[in-house]
Amino acid sequence: MATETRRAARPGRRITVWPENAEAFALFCAMGTQWRWAEGLRVGLDLTALPVVAAAHGVAVTPGLLDRLGICEAAALAAWEERRPRRRQPREE
Cα–Cα nearest to 59, from 30, 16, 32? 30
Say whether 38 sits in a helix, a strand or coil. strand
Q: Tell me the per-residue pLDDT of 45-90, one tens digit each, with 9 for 90 and over.
A: 999 999 999 999 999 999 999 999 999 999 999 999 888 887 777 7
pTM: 0.76
pLDDT of residue 12: 74
Residues ≥6 apart with Cβ < 8 Å to 57: 26, 27, 30
Q: Tell me the per-residue pLDDT of 27-36, one tens digit each, with 9 for 90 and over.
A: 999 999 999 9
Residues ≥6 apart with Cβ < 8 Å to 18: 2, 3
